[in-house]
């Protein structure tokens, strides 16, 4: 995961600094260039050859291209039309949601980031505005702050991670602030403007934070615009709703797993749903009956400290609304102390210069 590759070096450093004996051995700052190079290795070239032997060993035929439903159990990929004997499973995922906020469309190209730009960037911006304080927003805010950006998070609810337990949200807020992140809660974006090199946000509370780029982290939308689902009476651009077997109730041969059904936007839940769908296609009746497939799904927010949230079926039955959450206990010891995250403009400029040199860009 590219976002985890940006977070992991700081997490490892912070962990070492919490442990007397190890702490003394860690003196330097994060090497931002090395962090980005490792991220590139993890993302890899656009080459999936390492996975192909696994696909082939399972007797799976891989057809490359954009698929669209054209008729009952029929999918077209380029010029090739495929017909399934039993079922078609949609697992096309989701895209960043970029709402039409006032002035956002008028900002210079390259100023508006989604998770894609954030996780593939070759440079760490000097100042970053993050709109949205959910898991994606806070994870990337902490990652960029610890890599050298001065980050401001803007969250409309009264706390970041509004769906987490309040105490967990408070610990993450404190950790972000210790790192130097400015956390603006209870205020939403009124408009964006560009003032020469600055992106300036006006918020509903009258704040006007500015940055070099703005990261929009306000949610996801399903990748269903160009999937041909209108051929089976579903609406393009919307979530594909499914039953407990991951089957579309109105189309008995069609299943949808992962982000596309909107139940739980988590990798492990998509994999779990895929097993349920396949079981059902093969004639087994397993189904999600315990309710832990939506907001109650086990999940982790990979900030430092991390938030792990787990709901067992027994707990879920009496109180489906609440979850059991824990944060990794950690002493109040130095967070963000000596990373490359000094926030002076001079440091940012120096970092950008060294990154440009390393990547050969001007």
Ligand X SMILES: Cc1cc2nc3c(=O)[nH]c(=O)nc-3n(C[C@H](O)[C@H](O)[C@H](O)COP(=O)(O)OP(=O)(O)OC[C@H]3O[C@@H](n4cnc5c(N)ncnc54)[C@H](O)[C@@H]3O)c2cc1C
Q: Running DSSP on this structure, what letter comes out for residue 335?
A: S
> Smaller CB distance to ligand X: residue 186 or 294?
294
DSSP string, 304-328: SS-EEEE--HHHHTT-TT--EEEE-
Contact status: 93 vs ligand X (CB under 6 A) = yes
Could you tell me the smallest distance in angstroms from the CB atom of residue 177 to ligand X?
22
Report the nearest approach of ligand X to the CB of residue 253 (Å): 18
The residues in 188-227 that bind ligand X, with binding defined as CB under 6 A, are 223, 227
Q: Which region among 45-53, 151-159, 262-270, 324-332 touches ligand X (by CB under 6 A)?
A: 262-270
Binding-residue total with ligand X (CB under 6 A):
20
Count of positions (residues) in the chain: 362
Q: Determine whether 131 is exposed, middle or buried from the number of CB atoms within 10 Å of its CB (0-12, 13-18, 19+).
A: buried
Binding range to ligand X, per CB under 6 A, among 6-14, 182-190, 264-272, 318-326:
264-272
Is residue 267 close enough to count as binding ligand X by CB under 6 A?
A: yes
295 binds ligand X (CB under 6 A): no
Q: Which is nearer to ligand X, 187 or 301 (CB)?
A: 301
Shortest distance (Å) from residue 229 CB to ligand X: 10
Site membership for ligand X, residue 132 (CB under 6 A): no
Stretch near ligand X under the rule CB under 6 A, chosen from 9-17, 153-161, 172-180, 256-264: 256-264
Give the nearer residue to ligand X in terms of CB position, either 1 or 353.
1
Smaller CB separation from ligand X, 96 or 209: 96
Phi/psi of residue 81, nearest 5 degrees:
-110, 130
66 binds ligand X (CB under 6 A): yes
137 is a site residue for ligand X (CB under 6 A): no
Q: Nearest distance from residue 214's CB to ligand X, in Å?
A: 16
Q: Where are the alpha helices (DSSP H) in the chain?
A: 2-18, 32-43, 52-57, 115-120, 135-146, 166-179, 267-281, 313-316, 345-359
Task: Give CB contacts under 8 A, 24+ apart, made by 95-102.
Answer: 95/220, 95/221, 95/222, 95/223, 96/216, 96/217, 96/220, 96/221, 97/216, 97/218, 97/219, 97/220, 97/221, 98/216, 99/216, 99/218, 101/131, 101/189, 101/191, 101/192, 102/189, 102/190, 102/191, 102/192
268 lies in the site for ligand X, by CB under 6 A: yes
The one among 35, 88, 115, 304 contacting ligand X by CB under 6 A: 115
According to DSSP, the residues that pair with 71 across neighbouring strands are 74
Nearer to ligand X, 192 or 272 (CB): 272
Q: Are 239 and 222 in contact (CB under 8 A)?
A: yes
Name the residue nearer to ligand X (CB basis): 103 or 237. Answer: 237
DSSP 3-state of 267: helix
Q: What are the residues whose beta carbons fall under 8 Å from the beta carbon of 60, sequence distance 6 or more?
A: none
DSSP category for residue 247? B
| Residue listed under structure tokens 């609406």 | 235
Residues 303-362 close enough to bind ligand X by CB under 6 A: none
| Residue ranges in contact with ligand X by CB under 6 A | 1, 3, 66-67, 91-93, 115, 136, 223, 227, 258-260, 265-268, 270, 302
């Amino acid at each position: 995961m590219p976002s985890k590759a940006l977070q992991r070096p700081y997490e490892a450093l912070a962990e070492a600094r919490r442990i007397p004996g190890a702490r003394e051995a860690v003196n330097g700052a994060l090497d931002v260039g090395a962090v980005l190079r490792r991220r590139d290795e993890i993302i890899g070239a656009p080459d999936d050859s390492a996975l192909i032997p696994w696909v082939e060993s399972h007797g799976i035929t891989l057809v490359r291209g954009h698929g669209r439903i054209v008729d009952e159990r029929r999918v077209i990929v380029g010029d090739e039309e495929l017909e399934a004997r039993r079922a078609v499973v949609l697992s096309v995922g989701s895209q960043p949601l970029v709402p039409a906020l006032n002035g956002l469309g008028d900002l210079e190209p390259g100023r508006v980031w989604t998770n894609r730009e954030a996780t593939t960037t070759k440079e760490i911006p000097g100042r970053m505005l993050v709109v949205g304080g959910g898991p994606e927003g806070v994870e990337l805010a902490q990652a960029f702050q610890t890599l050298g950006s001065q980050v401001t998070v803007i969250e409309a609810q009264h706390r970041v991670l509004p769906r987490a337990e309040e105490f967990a949200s408070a610990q993450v807020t404190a950790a972000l602030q210790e790192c130097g992140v400015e956390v603006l809660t209870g205020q939403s974006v009124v408009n964006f403007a560009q003032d020469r090199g600055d992106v300036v946000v006006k918020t509903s509370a009258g704040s006007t934070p500015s940055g070099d780029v703005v990261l929009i982290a306000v949610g996801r939308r399903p990748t269903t615009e160009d999937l041909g689902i209108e051929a089976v009476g579903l609406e393009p651009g919307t979530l594909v709703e499914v039953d407990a077997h991951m089957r579309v109730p109105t189309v008995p041969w069609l299943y949808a797993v992962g982000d596309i059904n909107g139940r739980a936007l988590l990798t492990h839940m998509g994999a779990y749903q895929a097993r349920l769908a396949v079981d059902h296609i093969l004639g087994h009746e397993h189904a999600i009956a315990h309710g832990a497939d939506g907001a109650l799904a086990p999940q982790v927010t990979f900030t430092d400290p991390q938030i792990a949230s787990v709901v067992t079926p027994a707990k879920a039955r009496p109180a489906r609304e609440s979850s059991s959450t824990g944060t990794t206990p950690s002493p109040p010891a130095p967070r963000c102390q000596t990373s490359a995250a000094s926030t002076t403009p001079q440091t940012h400029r120096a970092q950008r210069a060294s990154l440009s040199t390393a990547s050969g860009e001007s």
